[in-house]
């Protein structure tokens, strides 16, 4: 792995930016308070919308497959809920429920990116503040900064396994980068910048989102990319005796995740109206005259909760593991 990650295309690590940094003690306290975020409510709202639309699909798809004649419980359930209760309208209602899930998932990706950006930005500020406190300036090459910082911390004692191993940090960064790339691709969005570290991590490129099948494929790729075990405090991914390589790899991973979350949040935030309009256009074109629920609609509905779980688990791993590690660096003796 070549860890030459200069802050070139996304210059977020300059000394100038951090002149207005909060007091060192305030940053420590902020991270020590945990990973609660202002975006948690929006994340839960998006998950709630996905779950509701998923339940609507389950009901309407049953009605769509019923025999022409008969009195079935699910018809009464739909009527009581104010939903289409006849076979003729059930197929369209089922497809609409999937569209709503896809739109809600957009909000989920957007707000998890904002949460990760917020958390990793605090981690980066504290890391840089710690470096300045110990006579190490960040400059233009973040890898060099981490190398010098590692020399300063070398031999430091960690009272417990609180520092994320370098290889685990890199794996988590690449998991996140690939997953967010594919999730953005599902809505016709992507990254085409020239940051070599982001490309190396898998956060590069775009592809068409001109059919439900294309949306499904991209979401599935993103969901699979995010399918990793959650990192929890003090498990095998942590160490109490990090080596110089661990610090450098940790810096690379933090750099990648912060940039990926920043770009994802900005790109999806500024393109939400157009992207969700395209989803509506695609669903209308693919399902308007269909008498059956498409296989892609069924697949999205079947797997979207799993993709949701994978994304939120990785988000939790990042906010916990990197916050723990940066705090541990500052507490090391």
Contact 53, 100 (CB under 8 A): yes
Convert the pLDDT of each residue in 57-76 to its tens digit.
888 888 777 666 555 676 66
pLDDT for residue 266:
97
Give the pLDDT band of residue 131 (cuts 50, 70, 90): confident
- The residue that leads in pLDDT, 332 or 212, is 212
Distance CA(38)–CA(307), nearest Å, equals: 22
Task: Give the residue among 167, 183, 264 at the shortest CA–CA distance from 224.
Answer: 183
**Other residues' Cβ atoms within 10 Å of the Cβ of residue 281:** 11
Convert the pLDDT of each residue in 88-115 to its tens digit.
788 899 999 999 999 999 999 999 999 9
Is residue 208's pLDDT more than 50? yes
Contact 242, 163 (CB under 8 A): yes
Which are the contacts of 262, defined by CB distance < 8 A and separation ≥ 6?
10, 12, 117
Give the pLDDT band of residue 126 (cuts 50, 70, 90): confident
Convert the pLDDT of each residue in 10-51 to its tens digit.
344 444 444 434 555 555 556 555 556 789 999 999 999 999
Distance CA(257)–CA(234), nearest Å, equals: 21
Distance CA(267)–CA(191), nearest Å, equals: 9
Convert the pLDDT of each residue in 291-322 to its tens digit.
789 999 999 999 999 999 999 999 999 999 99
- The residue that leads in pLDDT, 112 or 324, is 112
Convert the pLDDT of each residue in 157-194 to its tens digit.
676 768 899 999 999 999 999 999 999 999 999 998 99
């Amino acid at each position: 792995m070549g860890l030459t990650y200069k802050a070139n295309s996304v210059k977020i690590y300059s000394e100038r930016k951090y002149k207005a940094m909060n007091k060192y003690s305030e940053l420590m306290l902020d991270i020590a308070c945990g990973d609660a975020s202002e975006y948690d409510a929006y994340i839960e709202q998006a998950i709630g919308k996905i779950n509701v639309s998923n339940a609507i699909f389950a009901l309407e798809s049953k009605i769509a497959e019923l025999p022409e004649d008969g009195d079935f419980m699910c018809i009464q359930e739909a009527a009581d809920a104010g939903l289409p209760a006849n076979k003729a309208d059930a197929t369209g209602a089922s497809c609409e429920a999937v569209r709503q899930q896809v739109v809600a998932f957009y909000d989920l990706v957007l707000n998890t990116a904002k949460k990760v950006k917020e958390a990793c930005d605090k981690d980066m500020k504290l890391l840089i503040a710690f470096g300045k406190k110990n006579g190490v300036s960040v400059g233009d090459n973040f890898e060099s900064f981490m190398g010098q910082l590692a020399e300063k911390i070398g031999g430091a004692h960690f009272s417990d396994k609180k520092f994320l191993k370098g290889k685990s940090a890199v794996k988590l960064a690449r998991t996140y980068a690939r997953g967010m790339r594919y999730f953005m691709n599902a809505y016709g969005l992507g990254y085409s910048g020239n940051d070599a570290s982001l490309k190396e991590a898998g956060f590069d490129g775009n592809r068409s989102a001109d059919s439900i099948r294309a949306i499904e494929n991209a979401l599935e790729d993103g969901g699979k990319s995010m399918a990793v075990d959650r990192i929890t405090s003090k498990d095998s991914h942590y160490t109490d005796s990090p080596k110089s390589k661990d610090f450098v790899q940790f810096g690379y991973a933090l750099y990648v995740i912060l940039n990926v979350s920043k770009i994802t949040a900005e790109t999806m935030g500024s393109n939400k109206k157009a992207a969700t309009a395209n989803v509506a256009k695609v669903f209308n074109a693919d399902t308007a005259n269909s008498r059956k629920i498409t296989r892609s609609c069924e697949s999205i509905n079947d797997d979207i909760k799993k993709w949701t779980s994978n994304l939120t688990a990785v988000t939790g791993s990042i906010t916990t593991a990197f916050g723990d590690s940066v705090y541990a660096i500052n507490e090391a003796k």
